[in-house]
Chains A and B, each alone.
Chain A
Amino acid sequence: MSRTLSRRQFVAATAAGSAALMSAPFVRTAHAAGKLTMGFWDHWVPGANKTCTAIVDEWAAKEKVEVSIDYITSQGNKNLLTIAAEAQAKSGHDILAMPTWWPHAYADNIEPVNDIMEPLIKLNGDVNDTVKYLGKQGDKWLAVPATIGSQIKGPCSRIDLMKKFANIDVQAMYPAGSEPKADAWTNDAFLKAAEACHKGGSPFGIGLGETTDSVDTAGAFFQSFGADLVDAKGNVTVKTDNVRQALEFYKKLMAFLPADVTAWDDASNNKWLVSGRGALIMNPPSAWAVAKRDAPQIAEQCWTHGMPKGPKGRFAPFLPFLWTIWSFSKNKPAAKSLLVHLSQPDSVARLVEASGGYDLPSFANLTKLKTWAEEGPPKGTLFSYPDPYHLQTLSIAASPAPPKIAQQIYAQATITKMCVRHFQGEDMEKTLSWAESECEGFMRS
């Protein structure tokens, strides 16, 4: 039996349906604001991810967003592979934590965040120049500086060994709770201390391999001599007196370092400190945190402080992580809202506390949190870690070269290779010519 629907009946039914739909109340379901996926850096510090998840969940419950977090490790560069794969596929997480150079490398696939960065700067204070250099392209903010994973790789000294061999009281030089008295802490003083500790049998543990710790330290020392391999305009400036001075300095320094530093990776300096063999390493407080767990008698003697001053200033290696939103994200408003929430002073304080002081906010007003003042033993060991009095220029190796060129210099460890080549007996001018040729090769666009 067939049933036909007349035109009148159809119109009547449609009108009734529409009226019912219009008059129905708006029900805000648990996930009314959609879904949001994020790939965050998988933290070294146990428990740090948990606090991050808690902060995100609180925001999600308030905003009615369904969230999903993947913690992606940087072990084996898995995070870099994820970034490359998602950029190729134009699909993946909405928010992705990128290290240092990657926002610039994938700038075309990234959603600008000027609308949230400007209010965040008003709220938390200005960000340092390295964050601007890495997170901004022209006037376009590519990323929000992440608290999680951002770090300064300054010196972590042994209080006892520095006193004993180098006659330097690092606690007096960088007192907890007050301004540093570090005018005498210069590159020359550093070199003398390195020599004294080497003679005393506890050399400084500074790597000269091709991984980031080695590159960051060499980069900061080069900058303290004004030794840029490529300038901000992209001109190769390898053959300058500043670069020659920096190379000479490193040649002298390498003579006082352990003989195997050319093979060191990012774990080697940590092991050097924790094993009790060295008087100083360049690292965020992760080595001290491991010592606190595995060798408490060594942790009690550790003091994190500022870099020595060179002819062109005091430069500290700073490596920020940056939170980015892909341009192909399906929920950009929610992503921006979450990044604002994660950058609130209260969220930042919780993240810093959960990481035991490892994580560093990049905003000027957030460098005097209680975690750094209270962490120990010894109490105040991390007070100077975030550079609370802004006495250092937080910088990244290979800057101020345009980021895409600087990334090549950084990733291919051109600076540490120069130091090793020259130290191993290669003529200075030959080393400079090699570096110049390398830098010219990095200019391809």
Chain B
Amino acid sequence: MVDVAIQPNRANRTSATRKRASLRNALKRKSTSAFFMTLPLIVLVAVLVIYPAFYSLHLATLNKSMQRYVGFSNFTFLFTRETFWLVVKQSCIFAITAVIFKALIGFIVAHFVHNIPAKGQRKWRGMLLVPWVIPPAMSTLGWLWLFDPSYSAFNYTLSFFGIGPIPWTGDADWARFSVILVNVWYGMPFFMIMYLASLKSVPDQLYEAAAIDGANWWQRIWYVTLPMMRNIIAITTLFSLIVTFANFDIVRILTAGGPLDKTHLFATWAFKLGIESSDIPLGASVSLFMVPILAVAAIFILRDINKRGNEA
């Protein structure tokens, strides 16, 4: 017989106390409170992004009447369609061309704005941001009227110079030009404002040192400005590439993919197949083709940023 009074509940009580203490500690930790603060956003992303993404994956594996699992048949079927390859080509042309011009014009305009005296800079920044803050569906309607096949304001103006009429949306090449132009007009201010912020963070001493070394304008851009802006350029390019690749509204309103499907992008063609042709699984499959293409671009660009981050 033991002479020590055993308290059978003591161990439980100790562990409960320890649990409470560890919970308190966990709640005190910054990471925990950060997690709880971001939880609403995580839930929102899960509901509005992750669930639809998996749902569209599920849809893409069904047959047309959505009653039978067909595996990858929808994807292999698309590979056999001429229009699909046309859409792949056009999406790449559209996204790459538009992003290059947005970046180039944004870079030039950012320099102009940067060189305006601080007093008047704010109103220029505000004005240049206007295309970006107007909902694209609305501004594209304005462009639609400017490009109208029969009553184009551009053609009316050009007629005074003996030019035209130009089939802005009626000819395949002009239609591609028109949708890219509107996308550049809409997206350029984003690049401009990002580059402007980046330009303002480049220390003046670097330019002074370069000037002492006798660097000319081009050398200052090449050896000072661009290296200091590389990460911003990479991130804005990636972000814009994703958004431009997935563009829907501009093409939908301006050309609806025509003429002869020559301006369709993944999103507009997916809508055409999924909603207008009642083939939701095929539409879902088309839209999912954007994922691997954009993932590859994202991996390359983000890897480059990480590498430079580590070097720094």
Chain A contact residues, CB within 8 Å of chain B: 77, 80-81, 84, 88, 101-102, 105-106, 108, 209-211, 258-265, 268, 271-272, 275, 277, 404, 407-408, 411-412, 417, 420-421, 434, 437-438, 441, 444-445
Known contacts A210-B256, A263-B258, A420-B260; is A272 also within 8 Å of B150 by CB? yes
- B45-79 contacts to A (CB < 8 Å): 63-65, 67, 77
Asked if residues A263 and B149 are in contact (CB atoms below 8 Å), the reply is yes
B183 within 8 A of A: no
Which among A259, A272, A411, A444 is the interface contact of B272 at CB below 8 angstroms? Answer: A411
Which A residues lie within 8 Å of B272 (CB)? 411-412
Query: Separation in Å of the B120 CB from the closest CB of chain A?
Result: 41
B275 within 8 A of A: yes
Asked if residues A444 and B278 are in contact (CB atoms below 8 Å), the reply is no
What's the dominant secondary structure at chain B's contact region?
loop
Most chain A CB within 10 A, of B83, B258, B261, B272, is at: B258
Q: Measured between alpha carbons, how far is A18 from B276 in the docked complex, in Å?
A: 57
Which among A77, A108, A268, A411 is the interface contact of B150 at CB below 8 angstroms? Answer: A268
Asked if residues A209 and B277 are in contact (CB atoms below 8 Å), the reply is no
**Which 10 interchain pairs have the tightest Cβ spacing?**
A263-B170, A260-B149, A105-B278, A263-B149, A411-B277, A263-B169, A411-B276, A262-B259, A260-B170, A262-B170
Among residues of B, the one whose C-beta sits closest to the C-beta of A108 is B65
Which B residues lie within 8 Å of A106 (CB)? 278
Which among A108, A263, A275 is the interface contact of B255 at CB below 8 angstroms? Answer: A263
Asked if residues B259 and A263 are in contact (CB atoms below 8 Å), the reply is yes
Q: Measured between alpha carbons, how far is A259 from B150 in the docked complex, in Å?
A: 9
Return 28 A-B CB contacts under 8 Å, by A number.
A77-B275, A80-B276, A81-B275, A84-B275, A84-B278, A84-B280, A106-B278, A108-B65, A210-B258, A258-B150, A259-B170, A260-B149, A261-B170, A262-B167, A262-B171, A262-B258, A262-B259, A262-B260, A263-B255, A263-B258, A263-B259, A265-B256, A268-B149, A271-B151, A272-B150, A275-B150, A275-B151, A445-B64
Q: Measured between alpha carbons, how far is A106 from B63 in the docked complex, in Å?
A: 14
Against A, the Cβ 8 Å flags (1 = close, 0 = not) of B245-274 are 000000000011111110000000000101
Q: Measured between alpha carbons, how far is A210 from B167 in the docked complex, in Å?
A: 16
Q: Measured between alpha carbons, how far is A277 from B272 in the docked complex, in Å?
A: 32
What number of residue pairs across chains A and B have CB atoms under 8 A from each other? 90
Which B residues lie within 8 Å of A260 (CB)? 149-150, 165, 167, 170
Q: Measured between alpha carbons, how far is A211 from B256 in the docked complex, in Å?
A: 9
Most chain B CB within 10 A, of A404, A437, A444, is at: A444
Known contacts A209-B259, A262-B258, A445-B64; is A271 also within 8 Å of B150 by CB? yes
Against A, the Cβ 8 Å flags (1 = close, 0 = not) of B141-172 are 00000000111000000000000010111110
Q: Measured between alpha carbons, how far is A4 from B80 in the docked complex, in Å?
A: 79
Which B residues lie within 8 Å of A441 (CB)? 77, 80-81
Among residues of A, the one whose C-beta sits closest to the C-beta of B254 is A263
Which A residues lie within 8 Å of B279 (CB)? 408
Asked if residues B77 and A444 are in contact (CB atoms below 8 Å), the reply is yes
Among residues of B, the one whose C-beta sits closest to the C-beta of A107 is B65
Chain B contact residues, CB within 8 Å of chain A: 63-65, 67, 77, 80-83, 149-151, 165, 167-171, 175, 255-261, 272, 274-280, 282
Asked if residues A445 and B278 are in contact (CB atoms below 8 Å), the reply is no
Asked if residues B257 and A263 are in contact (CB atoms below 8 Å), the reply is no
Q: Measured between alpha carbons, how far is A434 from B83 in the docked complex, in Å?
A: 11
Known contacts A262-B258, A263-B169; is A408 also within 8 Å of B151 by CB? no
Query: Separation in Å of the A433 CB from the closest CB of chain B?
Result: 11
Asked if residues B167 and A407 are in contact (CB atoms below 8 Å), the reply is no
Which B residues lie within 8 Å of A275 (CB)? 150-151
Which A residues lie within 8 Å of B82 (CB)? 434, 437
Which B residues lie within 8 Å of A421 (CB)? 260
Asked if residues A209 and B258 are in contact (CB atoms below 8 Å), the reply is yes
Q: Measured between alpha carbons, how far is A271 from B150 in the docked complex, in Å?
A: 9
Q: Measured between alpha carbons, how far is A258 from B165 in the docked complex, in Å?
A: 12
Among residues of B, the one whose C-beta sits closest to the C-beta of A437 is B82
Q: Measured between alpha carbons, how far is A209 from B260 in the docked complex, in Å?
A: 8
Query: Separation in Å of the A358 CB from the closest CB of chain B?
Result: 23
Known: A210-B259, A263-B169, A408-B279; 10 extra A-B contacts, CB below 8 A, are: A259-B170, A260-B170, A261-B170, A263-B170, A268-B149, A271-B151, A411-B276, A417-B261, A420-B260, A441-B77
Which B residues lie within 8 Å of A84 (CB)? 274-275, 278, 280
Query: Separation in Å of the A257 CB from the closest CB of chain B?
Result: 12
Q: Measured between alpha carbons, how far is A272 from B148 in the docked complex, in Å?
A: 12
Among residues of B, the one whose C-beta sits closest to the C-beta of A258 is B150
Among residues of B, the one whose C-beta sits closest to the C-beta of A265 is B256
Which among A80, A404, A412, A438 is the interface contact of B275 at CB below 8 angstroms? Answer: A80
Which A residues lie within 8 Å of B171 (CB)? 262
Query: Separation in Å of the B56 CB from the closest CB of chain A?
Result: 12
Which A residues lie within 8 Å of B275 (CB)? 77, 80-81, 84
Among residues of B, the one whose C-beta sits closest to the C-beta of A263 is B170
Which B residues lie within 8 Å of A81 (CB)? 275
Q: Measured between alpha carbons, how far is A354 from B199 in the docked complex, in Å?
A: 63
Which B residues lie within 8 Å of A438 (CB)? 83
Q: Measured between alpha carbons, how far is A277 from B150 in the docked complex, in Å?
A: 10
Among residues of A, the one whose C-beta sits closest to the C-beta of B252 is A76
Which among A80, A420, A444 is the interface contact of B259 at CB below 8 angstroms? Answer: A420
Which A residues lie within 8 Å of B256 (CB)? 209-211, 265
Which among A101, A210, A264 is the interface contact of B149 at CB below 8 angstroms? Answer: A264
Q: Measured between alpha carbons, how far is A168 from B219 in the docked complex, in Å?
A: 75
Q: Measured between alpha carbons, how far is A80 from B277 in the docked complex, in Å?
A: 10
Q: Measured between alpha carbons, how far is A412 from B258 in the docked complex, in Å?
A: 10
Which B residues lie within 8 Å of A101 (CB)? 278
Which A residues lie within 8 Å of B170 (CB)? 259-263
Q: Measured between alpha carbons, how far is A272 from B257 in the docked complex, in Å?
A: 22
Among residues of B, the one whose C-beta sits closest to the C-beta of A441 is B81
Query: Separation in Å of the A58 CB from the closest CB of chain B?
Result: 35
Which B residues lie within 8 Å of A263 (CB)? 149, 167-170, 175, 255, 258-259
Among residues of B, the one whose C-beta sits closest to the C-beta of A278 is B150
Which B residues lie within 8 Å of A407 (CB)? 277-278
Query: Separation in Å of the B71 CB from the closest CB of chain A?
Result: 14
Which A residues lie within 8 Å of B259 (CB)? 209-210, 262-263, 420
Which A residues lie within 8 Å of B150 (CB)? 258, 260, 268, 271-272, 275, 277
Which A residues lie within 8 Å of B63 (CB)? 444-445
Which A residues lie within 8 Å of B80 (CB)? 441
Q: Measured between alpha carbons, how far is A106 from B64 in the docked complex, in Å?
A: 11
Q: Measured between alpha carbons, how far is A268 from B169 in the docked complex, in Å?
A: 13
Asked if residues B149 and A445 are in contact (CB atoms below 8 Å), the reply is no
Which A residues lie within 8 Å of B65 (CB)? 108, 445
Which among B67, B81, B278, B282 is the interface contact of A102 at CB below 8 angstroms? Answer: B278
